[in-house]
Amino acid sequence: MSFTPFKLAISAEMVFLDLPFVERVKRIHGLGFSVEIWNWTSKDIQALVATGADFTSMTGYIEGNLIDPEGIRQLLDSAKESLAIAAQLGCPSLNLHGTGLDGQGLPVKPVIQTTGRMWLNACKTLEKIARLGEDAGRVFLLENLNTEVDHPGTPFARADETLALIEAVGSPHLKMNLDLYHAQIGEGNLIELIQRAGSAIGEIQVADVPGRMEPGTGEIHYPAIARTLFGMGYSGVVGLEGWASGDSEVALERFRQAFTLDG
């Protein structure tokens, strides 16, 4: 008997691109998946609520960064605003990056080298973020990115860096959004990385390499990833944050199959 031990979610930003955004959410929900969104400021929140969809993750800030005073202030203020929207959507997790990203995914303030002072500031800022999450009963997720292809100049981008910050804070309200597409490009050894991250994982995001499309289109053997996660006892969210190589509905089914296990 086959079964799926994870909650499968789809980024509405990257599939069914021929549909208006709310219609994408309805389509994903109708196919039995949870939904993830990026920048909530560009969305009709009440229309999204009315879809009845299960929202698992959304971007948890509007602007700011982890390292300089003005950026920290902006990050904390916009995290508070984002928590209010998450409450409306019933969304348990809010996503963060090492710095604010522009519309092309490039850092608003690129960093060539992270200094000791930057690490200290980032840790202190994330402690404050975690307390905001605790007060609101929600979890912030710090996502790893790749700097080789998609996000050059982003500080704290590598998975080992994001994991180090999360472990330093040590709060259940700050966990890792372990994006395996980004990790494969930047680091590889995905199964060892997953096992190393362990209980720090708050979500797994996936897409294949190269191309950032659904599982089965590239070099990552996602069924092995699924077995590893299940063997560790992970039963949380696995999110497809990738483009469809062709028909979106077919891509979603390939994603489901990759994370379906034989009993």
Active site residues: 143, 241
Integer-rounded Cα radius of gyration of the chain = 17
User: Whose CA is closest to 93, among 136, 147, 57, 47?
Assistant: 57
Q: Which residues pair with 262 in a beta bridge?
A: 2
Q: What are the residues whose beta carbons fall under 8 Å from the beta carbon of 84, sequence distance 6 or more?
A: none
Q: Which two tokens stand for residue 228?
A: 């590893």
- Residues 10 and 55: beta-carbon distance below 8 Å: no
Q: What is the maximal distance between C-alpha atoms in the chain?
A: 54
Give me the torsion for CA of 26, 30, 34, 35, rounded to 10°: -20
Q: Dihedrals φ, ψ of 10, to 5°?
A: -130, 135
Instruction: Count CB-CB contacts under 10 A for residue 185.
Output: 18
**Angle CA(186)–CA(189)–CA(190) in degrees, nearest 5?**
85
- Residues 229 and 194: beta-carbon distance below 8 Å: yes
Instruction: Count CB-CB contacts under 10 A for residue 235.
Output: 12
